């Protein structure tokens, strides 16, 4: 036995060493193999980090979509397989109808802009509202979508190619094209257009720092046709204050604009070629994103922005940074002062595109904003960081997936009640196996704390309570002694109240054939590399699925009577199994006598032979553990993991 154990560990070590760095970019889960979400690698987690979840929507990767992670990098929810296609951006918690919801953009990319729609999901993770562009405009762009007016209206931005006389800019042999920046304020419930603003009515192309015919034209357009319209402005953020005015960020003019909510005129400019403010030390910014009001009155504005400080062609500062800036309107001239700046991880290059700044805590929207922690998404550089007011980084994580970008990243608390059911996969090496493995997960179930595990041998048998195990990471693992043909799990909250169950007819345990078993171990089988192969393997002798190879699953019924036995739900105070013996005094007496004899025998046998796990009151006495991150289903290790490699987290955590 010792030799076999050592050999198993050595094989496991070889499997681990064979995994390439790319394969650690994504996560594999037995219970949800179709998800394959990106890994969030947590590098720093210190005291002072804010409780809550990390909200990101990575794109430009193999598995783009929205995701929620906890502070240890464990996946909480992913949009993969539960929503339609398209990139997602600005994924966050929003207040709609007085309750927490999820808001995000979903659409397709066209050069440096997007076309799509904004969706609002409830805490049941289902759509409740969709916002589309109005007034005959093109589809909504991804750069802005924010709920305002107590959640009744949504601000969105739009990019529209328009004909423009560009003879002053070197195009005179035909009509020129400019990409106009617009934003709309739309009633969420009715779709009514409440306000619309057009940049070409207020900001001339002469304010742009991106010239036609220069190298920047690769991304900004050259102005010859609608598809290559000159993106002279690049509107990328719109915010609204309590007075109903708007704050705009325009990357290609390197300026912020305050726009009147009454008539659309520009009230002031910060930065750019026509700034109305004297800039203090450190205030200057370039190619910025995510400008937000944090405090605003007649004499003072406090704003935050992400200063990219580079467009890859020109640098305006040595490093990108999140900034807090105060505007004093009563000074002469009006003055902008830097209150705080937050830089990213040491050695990180400029975040040339994208980026976000979120102020956390009770001072997020008042004059004491500098007393709060700040959460920053680093855009093109796939990092997120949380900073103390002093600037110290107390949380740092990154997405190792090749090409990962995150337009905006956030931290929020959120409680979800998914309408779908928990997922379960059960496995045993053979029907005489010493153990059956249970792998269970529930995408988005934030209140899940424990799993109660059940097994049975056939479709008509009562469920046997095999014990409970604490939730660990996204997917929890439970090892039940003996072979169980069917499995079911029940999700419990912190108070052991039932939240939901996996398929109530049971999940058929996967048992490999003798031929396949050679590539399997106690915890599962090795995955076969098919993706990317030059040719798929052709079916050969014995590869067809004969009738006796069918899984033999139990039929689904809406009223499965076997559920009434042994489950924690409060369906009856009387065990239905006693009804068999309750049909007459004689049968009752005989039944009780048999039960008494069996109880004595069972107690004797139990005392030295039956594992405590099989009692209905067991909690965590089985071998239960989360496995080392299994990042690529194509190279899934098939042998036992060494105990010193086991980890309850699906990411590698370095606590400082």
CATH classification at residue 458: 2.60.40.10
Does residue 593 register a pLDDT over 90?
no
The whole-angstrom separation of Cα 129 and Cα 106 is 13
Residue 102 lies in a domain: no
- State residue 526's pLDDT score: 86
Residue 467 lies in a domain: yes
- State residue 553's pLDDT score: 77
* Cβ-defined contacts of 311-314 (< 8 Å, 24+): 311/210, 311/216, 311/251, 311/286, 311/287, 311/352, 312/350, 312/352, 313/215, 313/216, 314/286
Residue 239 lies in a domain: no
The whole-angstrom separation of Cα 330 and Cα 349 is 38
Does residue 141 register a pLDDT over 90?
yes
CB 119 within 8 A of CB 437: no
Residue 630 lies in a domain: yes
Backbone angles phi, psi at 573, to 5 degrees: -85, -10
Question: Exposed, middle or buried: residue 493 (CB in 10 Å: 0-12, 13-18, 19+)?
Answer: middle
24: pLDDT confidence band, cut at 50, 70 and 90? Answer: confident
Spatial neighbors of 576 by CB under 8 A, at least 6 apart, are: 561, 564, 565
Does residue 369 register a pLDDT over 50?
yes
HSE on the CB side for 21, CA within 13 Å? Answer: 5
pTM: 0.81
Token pair 């589809």 in the structure block, residue: 139
Question: Within a 10 A sphere around the Cβ of 11, how many other Cβ atoms?
Answer: 15
Write down the mean pLDDT value for the chain. Answer: 83
- Please list, residue by residue across 175-199, b when 16 or more beta carbons sit within 10 angstroms of its beta carbon and e when fewer do: ebbbbbbbbbbbebeeeeebbbbbb
- State residue 605's pLDDT score: 41
Residue 479 lies in a domain: yes
Shortest CA distance to 40 belongs to which of 66, 9, 4, 5?
66
Q: How far is CA 441 from CA 450, 475, 556, in A?
A: 11, 5, 21
Q: What tokens does 126 get? A: 């289902």
Count of domains in the chain? 1
Does residue 268 register a pLDDT over 60?
yes
231: pLDDT confidence band, cut at 50, 70 and 90? Answer: very high
Residue 66 lies in a domain: no
Residue 494 lies in a domain: yes
Q: What range defines the domain where residue 518 resides?
A: 1-19+420-529+612-656
The whole-angstrom separation of Cα 171 and Cα 224 is 8
Is the four-CA dihedral 132, 136, 142, 143 of positive or negative sign? negative
Q: What tokens does 128 get? A: 């409740």
151 φψ region: left (φ > 0), alpha (ψ -120 to 50), beta (else): left
Residue 357 lies in a domain: no
The predicted model gives 239-260 an average pLDDT of: 98
């Amino acid at each position: 036995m010792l030799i076999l154990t050592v050999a198993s560990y050595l094989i496991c070590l070889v499997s681990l060493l064979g995994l390439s760095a790319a394969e650690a970019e994504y996560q594999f889960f037995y219970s949800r193999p179709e998800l394959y979400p990106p890994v969030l690698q947590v590098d720093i987690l210190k005291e002072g980090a804010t409780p809550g979840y990390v909200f990101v929507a990575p794109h430009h990767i193999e598995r783009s979509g929205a995701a929620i992670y906890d502070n240890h990098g464990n996946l909480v929810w992913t949009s993969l397989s539960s929503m339609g296609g398209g990139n997602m951006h600005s994924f966050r918690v929003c207040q709609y109808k007085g309750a927490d919801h999820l808001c995000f953009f979903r659409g397709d990319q066209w050069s440096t802009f997007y076309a799509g729609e904004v969706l609002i999901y409830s805490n049941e993770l289902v759509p409740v509202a969709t916002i589309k562009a109005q007034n005959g405009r093109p589809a909504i762009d991804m750069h802005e979508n924010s709920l305002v007016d107590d959640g009744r209206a949504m601000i969105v931005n739009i990019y529209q190619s328009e004909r423009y006389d560009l003879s002053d800019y070197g195009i005179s042999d035909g009509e020129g094209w400019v990409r106009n920046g617009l934003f709309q304020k739309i009633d969420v419930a009715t779709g009514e257009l409440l306000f619309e603003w057009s940049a070409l009515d207020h900001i001339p192309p002469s304010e742009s720092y991106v010239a036609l015919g220069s190298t920047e034209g690769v991304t900004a357009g050259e102005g010859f046709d609608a598809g290559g319209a000159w993106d002279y402005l690049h509107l990328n953020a719109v915010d609204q204050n309590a007075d109903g005015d708007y704050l705009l960020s325009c990357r290609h003019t390197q300026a912020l604009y305050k726009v009147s909510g009454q008539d659309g005129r520009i009230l002031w400019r910060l930065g750019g070629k026509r700034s109305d403010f004297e800039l203090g030390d450190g205030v200057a910014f370039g190619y910025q994103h995510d400008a937000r009001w944090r405090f605003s009155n007649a004499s003072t504005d406090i704003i935050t922005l992400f200063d990219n400080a580079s467009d890859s062609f020109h640098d305006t500062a040595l490093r990108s940074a999140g900034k807090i800036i105060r505007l004093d309107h009563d000074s002469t001239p009006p003055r902008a002062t830097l209150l705080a700046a937050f830089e990213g991880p040491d050695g990180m290059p400029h975040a040339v595109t994208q980026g976000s700044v979120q102020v956390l805590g009770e001072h997020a929207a008042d004059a004491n904003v500098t007393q709060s922690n700040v959460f920053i998404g680093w855009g093109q550089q796939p990092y997120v960081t949380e900073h103390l007011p002093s600037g110290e980084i107390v949380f740092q994580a990154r997405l190792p997936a090749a090409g990962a970008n995150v337009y905006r990243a956030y931290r929020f608390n959120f409680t979800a009640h998914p309408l779908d059911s928990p997922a379960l996969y059960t496995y045993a090496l053979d029907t005489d196996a010493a153990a059956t493995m249970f792998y269970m997960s529930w995408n988005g179930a934030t209140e899940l704390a424990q799993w109660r595990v059940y097994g049975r041998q056939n479709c008509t048998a009562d469920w046997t309570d095999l014990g409970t195990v604490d939730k660990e990471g996204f997917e929890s693992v439970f090892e039940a002694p003996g072979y169980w043909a069917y499995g079911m799990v029940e999700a419990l909250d912190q108070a052991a109240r039932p939240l939901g169950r996996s398929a109530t007819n049971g999940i058929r345990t996967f048992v490999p054939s003798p031929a396949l078993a050679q590539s399997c171990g106690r915890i599962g089988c090795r995955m076969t590399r098919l993706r990317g192969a030059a040719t798929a393997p052709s079916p050969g002798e014995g590869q067809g699925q004969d009738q006796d190879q069918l899984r033999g699953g139990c039929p689904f019924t809406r009223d499965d009577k076997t559920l009434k036995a042994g489950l924690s739900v409060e369906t009856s105070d009387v065990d239905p199994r006693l009804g068999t013996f309750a049909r007459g005094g004689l049968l009752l007496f005989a039944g009780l006598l048999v039960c008494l004899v069996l109880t004595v025998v069972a107690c004797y046998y139990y005392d030295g032979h039956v594992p405590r796990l099989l009692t209905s009151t067991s909690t965590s006495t089985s071998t239960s553990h989360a496995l080392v991150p299994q990042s690529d289903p194509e190279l899934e290790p098939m042998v036992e993991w060494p105990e010193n490699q086991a980890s309850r987290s699906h990411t590698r955590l370095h606590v400082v």
